[in-house]
Chains A and B, each alone.
Chain A
Amino acid sequence: MLRKAHSLVVVLMMVISLALVGCSNSTNGNGSSSDSGEKVTITFMHLWTPGSSKQHNMIINNIIKEFEEKNPNITVKQETLENEQYKNKLKVLAASNELPDVGMTWAAGFLEPYVKGNLFAPLDDVLDSGLKEKFVSGTTEAYAIDGKTYALPVELNITPVYYNKELFSQHGLEAPKTYEEFKHVVETLAKNGVAPIALGNKDRWTGSLWYMYLADRIGGAETLKNAINGSGTFEDPSLVKAAEEVQNLVEMNAFIKGFNGLSNDEAKAEFTNEKAAMYLMGTWDLPQFTTNEDIPKEFRDKVGFFKFPVVDGSKGDVDSWVGGPGVGLFVSENSKVKKEAKEFVKFFVEKWGEMSVTQAGVIPATKVDTSNMDLPQMYIDVLDELNKATNITLFADVQMNPEAAQTHLNLIQSLFGGEISPKDFAKQHQEVLSQTK
């Protein structure tokens, strides 16, 4: 009679002891106070997972190892998350004031709330110790608010138009230099059943790149920048015209079928499978087209790039790029091991700059000396272009504050989907930008 209750109790005991076993394994991983000589742990949270960013991750581990060797009392504890989840977790941690000692952040608009909340430590002291000159001009500025720098960038990217040289020559086409030539390329390809441009606008920032270049070429680099920072207006005619051009391109069937619902990965696949001839994307994709063995060499050899064409009679300049620094390292203002964390960041940035291009194919924000490096030709070309660049405009959704950025991205999707007029597009931008100062 008691048997059933008895066996139930046994089950419960087992369950509870299982839970306790799990409990006893718990560790408590917060940094201890920073007396030199005492054991110190730095928590470092980042995006470069060992599964997908193998080279990045390897470099990080090497740098950490070297740092730990040089500083035997310091241990660096890593946590990796993928992009979206990283952003979410960062927010949750920030709300409870539990940010890791060192972490990654994006520039400008993303950085702002954290800085306003006094969560990031200014890193000017780190820069002033000789590091500043090593950075490409304009990169650390993207992480500065009110004159203080809050993160040090470790990536720098520009966005060329990659194209399939073979598909082009098959149709008697060459890399266009002017926008008229570009439109001719688009028409020819479309007529012959080749999708001219691979675009996956589900994520919206991809379409934003196209808009930004058109805005830059038609209105010049300053117009867009001023519209965003409030000293100009988004309803400037050149910005409206850029929006019109976007819709013209859509009318011409310049983009792959169903682009507004495709992810960037799916679009990239169309380009890689040679169903589309052009792909506007950042230099973070360079490894795909140069060193990545998973992609057939045959295809990689066919890929080249050209700079976004100039629009005749307009202010734009062919050496003006859309791009900018990617992620940067921050130090938490409330970190108990701030001194050590800052040292780590300094060490990391320096070492990273030496290795990132050759080992991970990532262009760092610090200046790169290509003379001794053995790099694929496309890298050398890109780095040369970087040196010649007259301007790098930061991605619109990074420049803007988060609320405006979301609106911008949604408007981009509407614009590409033909659901909104260019005038309205500009007007709504102006509204949200002025409301969310």
Chain B
Amino acid sequence: MQKETVMEKPSMALVPSSRGFAKTIGMVFFYAILIVLALFQILPLVWLLFFSLKNNQEVFNTPLLSLPSPPRWENYVKVWVEGNIGQYFFNSVWITTVSVVLTVLLASFATFAITRMNWKWKHVVLGLFMVGLMIPIHSTLIPLFSFFMKMNLIDHPLSIVLTNIGFNLPITIMILLGFYQSFPRELEESAVMDGCSVHRMFFRIILPMTAPVIVTTTIINMIYNWNEFVFVNTFISSDEFKTLTVGIQNFIGQYTTDWGAIGATLMISVLPILIVFFFLSDKIMEGITAGAIKG
């Protein structure tokens, strides 16, 4: 099957014009709901921004969505200077990137083999991966810590990358699974007839066709890894390897908490993901699909 560039026929399936007025009202109502929902989803961002600009007093005293006057941009300065956010930011970025790429890649390999190739144990292996979904993270802390201790990987970012991959493989595979299963077998048959090897078939045909779900799982992994907290807290001690999520702790004291600073840290921490998500996800998608067409 070739991916045709389909012409976007305007709303053919939706609006036969004969219905007229009622339909228009329906559409308006419809859009209104969608927009209200959207506003509700943006609320947290707006709130977070305002939150990060308040000091401890204002955080509790003022209404949810009020802009403090004056806005306390010094929270951001404090966080960058005293909170060592720069270092944490860098760590978050590279750990997340490495983890996400490896996870999505390895998961694709595994899912491809499970869904498209013939072998006896595929259901067992799939089951094994799925069970990996079901363990609550806190109970794995002590065994994993011992393990990494023995491997001399404590206080080493590789421990985080590995656990990120290990614990996100199941969910990534599960999502990929649903998509892989719906591809027609004819694809492979025609590829084989053209003289394709398995590897080439995977890389040149299947992988590009899964572009949408790859973007999806990349985004999901990115979010999970970026916000990953428990493992970093347990396995990492040195400041030079900490990530943003743990950096927040700098502002939680034994008896008092600096909420404005926490807000600033959270804001700084959500911006990169926002940017990648909003602007880059389309580009990634184009890149992968373009690769398919050229072949």
Contacts and interface: CB of A to CB of B under 8 A. Distances in A.
User: Do A's and B's CB atoms come within 8 Å in the complex?
Assistant: yes
Interface of A: 1, 3-5, 8, 11-12, 15, 18-19, 21-23, 25-29, 45, 47-54, 56, 79-83, 85, 88-89, 92-93, 95-96, 98, 265-266, 269, 272-273, 282, 284-285, 288, 294-296, 327
Interface in B45-69: 55-57, 59-61
A5 B249 CA distance: 43
Interface of B: 55-57, 59-61, 78-79, 82-83, 94-95, 97-98, 101-102, 105, 141-142, 145-146, 149, 152, 154-158, 161, 199-200, 203-204, 208, 233-234, 237-238, 240-241, 249-258, 261, 291, 294-295
B60 A88 contact: no
B29 to A, nearest CB: 37
Nearest to B59: A269
A288 B256 contact: yes
Contacts of B95: 22
Contacts of B253: 47-49, 51-53, 82
Contact of B203 (A8, A15, A25, A284): A8
A82 B242 CA distance: 14
A92 B237 contact: no
Given A19-B98, A266-B60, A294-B57, 14 more contacts: A5-B203, A15-B102, A22-B98, A29-B155, A47-B253, A48-B254, A51-B258, A88-B233, A92-B141, A92-B142, A93-B145, A95-B142, A98-B149, A265-B60
A89 B234 CA distance: 6
A273 B200 CA distance: 68
B97 A18 contact: yes
Contacts of A3: 294
Contacts of A79: 237-238
Given A23-B156, A82-B253, A51 B142 contact: no
A53 B82 CA distance: 12
A18 B102 CA distance: 12
A85 B233 contact: yes
B142 A26 contact: no
Nearest to A52: B253
A92 B234 contact: yes
Given A11-B101, A23-B158, A85-B233, A96 B146 contact: yes
A50 B239 CA distance: 12
B256 A52 contact: yes
B156 A26 contact: yes
A96 B145 contact: yes
Interface-centre pick from A12, A18, A272 (highest chain B CB count, 10 A) = A18
Closest 10 CB pairs of A and B: A52-B253, A269-B60, A51-B250, A82-B252, A51-B251, A82-B249, A53-B253, A26-B156, A79-B237, A49-B250
Contact of B255 (A45, A88, A95, A285): A285
Contacts of A296: 57
B12 to A, nearest CB: 35
Contact of A50 (B250, B254, B294): B250
A54 B83 CA distance: 11
Nearest to A22: B157
16 contacts: A3-B294, A22-B95, A22-B161, A51-B258, A51-B261, A52-B251, A52-B254, A81-B233, A82-B249, A85-B249, A93-B145, A269-B61, A273-B57, A284-B254, A294-B56, A296-B57
